[in-house]
Amino acid sequence: MSLRPHDERMVMPTPFAPRVAALCQTNDWYTWAGYTTPNTFEEVGLEYFAMRNATGVFDLSPMTKYRITGPDSEAFLNRVMVRDVRKIKPGRVGYTVWCTDEGMVHDDGTIFHLADGDYRLCAQERCMDWLHWSTLGFDVDIADETADIAALAVQGPTSCATLRNMGLSGIENLKPFGIATFPFNGAELLVSRTGYTGDLGYELWIDAGQALPLWDALFAAGRELLIRPVGSEALGIARIEAGFIMAGEDFVPAEQVVRHGRARSPFELGLDWLVDFHKGPFTGRNALLKEQREGSRYRFVILDIEGNKPANHSFILDKHGRTIGHVTSAAWCPTAKSNIALASMNMPWGRDDDEMYAEIYYNRELAWTRLLSRCRVRRDPVFDPPRRRATPAQNL
């Protein structure tokens, strides 16, 4: 068996590492899925506002990427995923989650339907073993192309204009969750109108060998449009603002759960809309039907919290001070000027009119303060601008 990249080195640089390292003034790194990734480049606020007001670029290369081909690829994915994969037409991307037999979420990710019978699955976590076990009875090939494909998220109101400047003509006509390809430097550049920021934005996918030319062309095209590299901290604020969950934060991938009962189902993550009981068999169906009949244990909510102290790791209390849930992600969201938390509430809590308080602790020069801040359930994410969906895209 040939060596895979991580056989030689435990933590790898991404294909953009030379550029990323040169720009990473904070020298503030962490390991994401076996790759060195910056938390910040310069200052988290600058990066966040670049993403919201101009263009932020995030190195997405560590994202796990599986190429799924073969005559049964569609049927295979339809059996793995809770949603009806047949409805994701060629040239389209679909968000999805996949579950264990017990209906607990392994991970969430996106399916790229590249061509008839040719798919790419992008996920936060590695899941080759699970996918491989799921191939029993299907004529399908799965290749891990994580290391072979370099990827950038290009997000923000000037992202479309930046890509046009780069020569991607007609990119403004690409619909949300659409895929287009463009020739680039003798290779093929794949662009999807997808992202993790809840805004107008794109993701660029290219052969790893073309990573540096792509980075250079992109930054040259975006210079006038205030393009800026973005680390995971800024992206983290943006995704909370947009109401997107994250594996390892808002749920523990079912395969990594050690203690019984700590995983979450799609219903418990607010993803009811994904689950399709009419499409035929899929892994977890029986368990999810049972959950639908008998009720879930938790309710996923977006909470708007009074004040401006982020409610990270807070318990949510009822008016008697009893614990009724806890925060899984939280941030002060600058654009929305809101204090937002994603939370997992014990059933039946988290209803629209429930009286709930976040127990927030913060420390100012060794003085701890405990706040009980009133929370209200939000039905929609706090950041959801019309330009996110508009086609042709805003072309500033």
Q: Which positions touch another protein (CB under 8 A)?
A: 75, 79-80, 100-101, 130, 133-134, 136-138, 278, 280-281, 283-286, 289, 293
Q: Which is nearer to another protein, 44 or 127 (CB)?
A: 127
The Cα-based distances of 35 to 22, 29, 114, 125, 231 in angstroms read 16, 10, 26, 12, 13
Taking the least distance from each CB to another protein, the nearer of 106 and 264 is: 106
Q: What is the DSSP letter of 387?
A: G
Burial of 23 (0-12, 13-18, 19+ CB in 10 A): middle
CB of 283 vs another protein, minimal distance in Å: 4
Beta strands in the chain (DSSP E): 28-32, 35-40, 55-59, 64-69, 92-99, 105-115, 118-123, 141-144, 149-155, 179-184, 187-192, 201-207, 227-229, 298-305, 315-317, 323-333, 338-346, 356-364, 367-378
187, burial (CB in 10 Å: exposed 0-12, middle 13-18, buried 19+):
middle
Nearest-angstrom CA–CA distance, 41 and 24: 4
CB of 106 or CB of 388, closer to another protein: 106
CA-to-CA distance for 240 and 281, rounded, in angstroms? 33
Rounded to a whole number of angstroms, the minimum distance from the CB of residue 275 to another protein is 14
Q: Measured from the CB atom, is 135 or 185 closer to another protein?
A: 135
Identify which of residues 10 and 136 has a Cβ nearer to another protein in the complex. 136
In the complex, minimum distance from the CB of residue 286 to another protein, in angstroms, rounded to a whole number: 6
Task: Give min distance, CB of 285 to another protein, in A.
Answer: 6
Residue 12 or 127 with smaller CB distance to another protein: 127
- Nearer to another protein (CB atom), residue 293 or residue 370: 293
**Minimum CB distance to another protein smaller for 261 or for 386:** 261
Q: In terms of DSSP H, where are the helices of 154-303?
A: 159-165, 211-222, 232-242, 285-294
Minimal distance, residue 136 CB to another protein, in Å = 4
Instruction: In angstroms, give the least distance from the CB of 192 to another protein.
Output: 27
How many Å apart are CA 1 and CA 236, to the nearest integer? 38
Least distance between another protein and beta carbon 321 (Å): 33
Cβ distance to another protein smaller for residue 127 or 327: 127
Query: Which amino acid appears at position 282 of this protein?
Result: F
Helix, strand, coil fractions of the chain, as percent rounded to 5:
25, 35, 40
User: Minimal distance in Å, beta carbon 133 to another protein?
Assistant: 5
227-229 and 55-59 strand pairing: parallel
- CA 218 – CA 174 distance, rounded (Å): 18
> Shortest gap between Cβ of 101 and another protein (angstroms)?
4
Specify the residue for token string 């076990």: 133
- What minimum distance in Å lies between the beta carbon of 281 and another protein? 5
Name the amino acid, one letter, at 313: H
Of 86 and 175, nearer to another protein (C-beta) is: 86
Give yes or no for a contact between 187 and 230, defined as CB atoms under 8 angstroms apart.
no
Structure tokens at 307: 């004040």
DSSP state of 47: H
